[in-house]
Amino acid sequence: MQSTTANKISKHFVTLVIIGLAANATGLFNDILDQDSALYASIAKNIVVKNDWVNLYAFGDDWLDKPHLPFWLSALSFKFFGINPFAYKLPSFLCFFVGVFYTYKLAAKIYNKQVAQATTLIYITSLHVILSNFDVRAEGSLTAFVVASIYHFYCAMESPWLKNLIAAAFYAALAMMTKGIFVLITIASGFVVYWIVTKQWKEFINPKWYLLLLLSFVFIAPELYSLYQQFDLHPEKLVFETHNVSGLKFFFWDSQFGRFFNTGPIKGSGDLSFFFHTTLWAFLPWAFYLFIAVYNKIKNIKTNKKSTTIIIHSSALISFLLFSVSKFQLPHYIVIIFPMFSMLVADYLLNIKNEKVVKQLNIVQYVVYFVLIVFISIASVFFRLDNVLIPLISAMIATYLFLHILKEKTVYGIITKGLCFSVLLALFLNIVFYPQLMQYQAGMMAGKWQQKNMPDKKIQLYKSNDFSFEFYGNVQMKRENNIADLFKNDVNPVFYTTKNEAEKINKDSFCIKEIAAFSYFHVTQITPTFFNYKTRSQTLDTFVIAEVKAVKKN
């Protein structure tokens, strides 16, 4: 049975991969989602506008949080394709291709070709991978660099090793310049556990691994130089409400260990169960199979402990535990270990011997798929989507095909059903749902309005920071908190703020004329009240573009 499944996957592999990649690509053509993605896009925009590739700025102030590489890549894309959402997302999507390639190569190296093919299909159809190719942050690039480094690290254990060691160090450096030095744990921990379990103690004093580490830090020189130039050479700068902030110290300690121990300037509140329940939805439609695969590995741990597959298992487990005990947690962190999760699931599915179990596991995909149909139906009606019949009819056609074409109760059937789930979800989210949802991003809508109606006017920010307005609009970057200060920058100031703040301005001293208004909701935190079109108005705020004139007093 399994040989037949492997043959079917192999026969249709290229076609299925193209379909999966095309579904992910639909997110390239949408606008940029608030908050973080819009912030990162505006920082990359500043690089191009200022032609300054060393210093990072947000709203006119020095910005210290993430490393430079994602912003450099987006800024480079802006240089070629102009400052637009597609150009911002393209580098991450190209890195996603690199990640898919190395995920396949690593699975083929550690497992076999059949597992590698199933792994690739599982990875590219995972829900949060699809979301990451729409809501672009750092994870698409980071995952590619991490899995590429692990692959070359693995190859460097063999001879000839030097070129693979250099490649592993290079990709590790790219990963550090994307997220920070903690990524070295994900890259190296699996190998450390493997050496301990197999009692390869000499590997801990093998000079080539210290050379790999040294080269990794040599390759991050551009990041270290930029941080030193922007912060360490300027102790007078006010960052995190304090002076004498070291960019190098932040990179090596505060941004990583500071968040982990909650001692740095950026703090969070951890929940040990956070990534467990995040995985339940983020790794759909494969989450159920992942938990079975993990249980199966634990049950058979004695028979697997000598296998190099322990590198994959340990890397995923240690990273997952680190994420879970960290005090700073966000759902997209988990994406970097999705290649390892995908290998675990693929290996499990392709080694099931019991046909009855396979048929039962096919039922899981039916259940998950019909939950999706219910979601699309509810969203179409209660959210009041434009052209509501289009998603409903599309869902019915897709369901008919799903039921009548994908009748096969094999592992191949499980994988193709999962692909159908992900393609339908990607098309619904990226083509139907998100474009309408994002109409409630006031900053984006205001920026587009300005580019059409007042393209040459530099609009100022008053008592408001809006990441998407900074990206889409022509904005005076520095936020002003005193209405009189607007006149320092422009004799005829036009400003952007909340309607509430505009109404508070002293009418005896200033004359305010509202030019345009835009509805706002924090669209990444949807509530039932907002989701229901009948109650949505209760949740909306309003932002305005207005002009101000000083009242002449007799």
Q: What is the DSSP string of 452-508?
A: HH-TT--EEEES---HHHHHHS-EEEEEESSGGGHHHH-SS-EEEEEHHHHHHS-TT
Neighbours of 277 (CB within 10 A): 11
Whether 330 shows a pLDDT value over 80: the answer reads no
For residue 156 the two structure tokens come to: 């460097």
Which residues, 6+ apart, have CB-to-CB distance to 394 below 8 Å?
424, 427, 428
Distances in Å between the alpha carbon of 283 and those of 148, 332, 333, 382, 494? 21, 11, 12, 26, 46
Q: In what order do the strands lie in the sheet with 541-550?
A: 475-480, 459-462, 494-498, 541-550, 510-520
Q: Which of 425, 429, 490 is nearest to 462 (CA)?
A: 490
Residue 457 has what pLDDT?
Answer: 87
Q: Which of 509, 523, 518, 515 is nearest to 551 (CA)?
A: 509
Whether 267 shows a pLDDT value over 70: the answer reads no
Helices (H), 300-386: 301-304, 309-325, 338-349, 355-382
Q: What is the mean pLDDT of residues 53-58?
A: 91
Residue 309 has what pLDDT?
Answer: 87
Distance of alpha carbon 528 from alpha carbon 535, whole angstroms: 9
Neighbours of 202 (CB within 10 A): 8
Whether 554 shows a pLDDT value over 60: the answer reads no
Whether 263 shows a pLDDT value over 70: the answer reads no
Residue 525 has what pLDDT?
Answer: 87
Distance of CA 393 to the CA centre of its chain: 31
Q: What is the mean pLDDT of residues 43-68?
A: 90
> Is 9 in contact with 15 (CB distance < 8 Å)?
no
For residue 398 the two structure tokens come to: 């897709």
Amino acid code (one letter) for 488: K
> Is 297 in contact with 304 (CB distance < 8 Å)?
yes
Span 173-219, pLDDT tens digits: 999 999 989 899 999 999 999 999 989 999 999 999 999 999 999 99
Neighbours of 270 (CB within 10 A): 16
Q: Which of 335, 431, 449 is nearest to 385 (CA)?
A: 431
Q: What are phi and psi of 91, to 5 degrees?
A: -55, -40
For residue 318 the two structure tokens come to: 């240690």
Distances in Å between the alpha carbon of 41 and those of 77, 213, 232, 275, 525? 11, 31, 25, 27, 20
Question: Regarding predicted confidence, which is higher, 518 or 406?
Answer: 518
Helices (H), 220-261: 221-227, 247-249, 259-261
Distances in Å between the alpha carbon of 455 and those of 209, 322, 406, 546? 55, 47, 52, 15
Which residues, 6+ apart, have CB-to-CB distance to 8 below 8 Å?
410, 412
Three-class DSSP category at 83: coil
Which residues, 6+ apart, have CB-to-CB distance to 170 below 8 Å?
215, 219
pLDDT band for 538, please (50, 70, 90 cuts). Answer: very high
Q: What is the mean pLDDT of residues 421-437?
A: 90
pTM: 0.92
Distance of alpha carbon 408 from alpha carbon 415, whole angstroms: 11
pLDDT band for 133, please (50, 70, 90 cuts). Answer: very high
Residue 405 has what pLDDT?
Answer: 62
Question: Regarding predicted confidence, which is higher, 491 or 262?
Answer: 491
Distance of alpha carbon 178 from alpha carbon 196, whole angstroms: 29
Residue 269 has what pLDDT?
Answer: 62
Q: What is the mean pLDDT of residues 514-528?
A: 91
Distance of alpha carbon 99 from alpha carbon 105, whole angstroms: 10
